[in-house]
Chains A and B, each alone.
Chain A
Amino acid sequence: MSAALEAVLQTVRRRFLAALPEIEESLVTQQVCLRDRKTKDLDLEEVRSNAHKMAGVSPTLGFAELGAKAAMLDRLIGSELEQGKSNRQEILLKLEALLSEISHVRQAETASAEACSKSGA
């Protein structure tokens, strides 16, 4: 990949990372609903939509593990919704795995940014 292309890709990657906290917040809200059985506020479609988008772009931006975990959650909710059931425990496990990976990615990026900042200073 050329340096110019890599530079533009980095810009897209930064935008994706900038949007992550909002998605994470939405997923955490749904995690609480699932865990506390707050059926009224549970929106599995929203969880799936976020997982679906993340699965679609993460690997291209260099976050293969994030993409894999998001794809697993996307597949599971899709299958559950199709069959008219919702295995809360299974969905919760996959959602927690995804949230954990999001957290990991964010921490790694913060560390990398700090390292860059220090080496630049």
Chain B
Amino acid sequence: MRLLVVDDDFIIHELIALMLRDLTIERLDFAFSGADAIDKMANAQLPYDAFMLDISMPGMSGIELVHYIRSTDQYRTAPIMMITSETERDFVDGAFAAGATDFINKPLDSFTVKSRVNVLCQLAADRRKIHSLRNDVDHAAQHLIRPADFSSPMHIEDVDGFLDYLSLENYLLYLSRAAHFGNCTFGVALNDFDRITSGMMEYEFRFLIHDIAEILSDVLKPSHFMMSHVGGGSFAGVTDLGRAFSRQTFLERWVDIAPEYELYYGDGRPVLYQISVSDPIQLDFKSQQGVVAAMLKATSQAETLAGHRAGSARGVAGNPGAKAQARIV
């Protein structure tokens, strides 16, 4: 915690430093007046988490300083403990009205100071957590209603067989050649991608990709497979079906399963879409690097079949080379 103590008496500074020496306080600063405190707040590299203010100081009083602190966005909710003496009891109401959090009486008692500042630390920690959560919520809200960014691979949660693209690449790079034997890689891409995603918001795109991932997962079960979204409307996969993988069989299963999932835009319109799937590329005898290259090649083939412009939409490098086209409705 970063604490600023404001009191015009240097003996109070020394006593408080002494009393707080056992607490975990990252930074303890002292100011002799309101003006000095404002200067320290303005020049602090990191904001203070809490304040201890003497009520009675020459120039700007402690209550005026509370008003100032509360008027800044940064310290609107920062815990403020007032240091008061018996003769200043009448000012305590004013301090609370101005926004003080707590008060402690002079003469200072070591145990009381420690325990009250400990509570101040906890309040400051809670405030930091709330601040962080609020930032996350704001960020998430802004993130979801902005126009979609199609270029990056998307993290897909809670869909069997799906993992992040980099994790899939790393997995393939770490597998031995023997482990690749009997496996094949393939790509799947959303047809007419630019039209379908025109004007889409981030959240709509995320729902679309997630739903397609769920359909793909159902289509590929019960084989052992791993797939990733690679950006745009494209997916890359690896399955142990090997030579048994057939584009025809895949598409037939897709036609059976896809209608169970109804995909909609945010305004309620149904998403009318088609997909293309590449030919499988067998991974037998390929090096680790070769396996990744084959996966990208299959993805590029699917994209070409789907009518994607070369290099459009997704950010992962591809290797275009279409041979055939397979579409479903």
Chain A interface (Cβ < 8 Å from any Cβ of B):
1, 5, 8-9, 11-12, 15-16, 19, 49, 52-53, 55-61, 67, 71, 74-75, 78
Contact = CB atoms under 8 A, between A and B. Distances in A.
Nearest to B108: A60
Given A12-B11, A12-B14, A60 B109 contact: yes
Nearest to A51: B87
B85 A60 contact: no
Contacts of A58: 107
A56 B9 contact: yes
A74 B85 contact: yes
B12 interface: yes
Interface string B1-35: 00000001111101100100100000000000000
B15 A55 contact: no
Contacts of B87: 52, 55, 71, 74-75, 78
Contacts of A52: 56, 85, 87
B106 interface: yes
B262 interface: no
Contacts of A11: 14
B180 to A, nearest CB: 65
Interface of B: 8-12, 14-15, 18, 21, 56, 58, 85-87, 106-110
A71 B85 contact: yes
25 contacts: A1-B110, A5-B21, A8-B21, A12-B14, A12-B18, A15-B11, A15-B14, A52-B56, A52-B85, A52-B87, A53-B8, A55-B85, A55-B106, A55-B107, A56-B85, A56-B107, A57-B11, A57-B106, A57-B108, A59-B107, A60-B15, A60-B107, A60-B108, A61-B11, A71-B85
Nearest to B8: A53
A38 to B, nearest CB: 23
Given A52-B85, A56-B12, A78-B87, A67 B107 contact: yes
A19 B9 CA distance: 11
Contact of B18 (A9, A55, A67, A78): A9
Nearest to A55: B85
A-B residue pairs, 6 tightest by C-beta: A59-B107, A56-B106, A12-B14, A60-B107, A57-B11, A53-B9
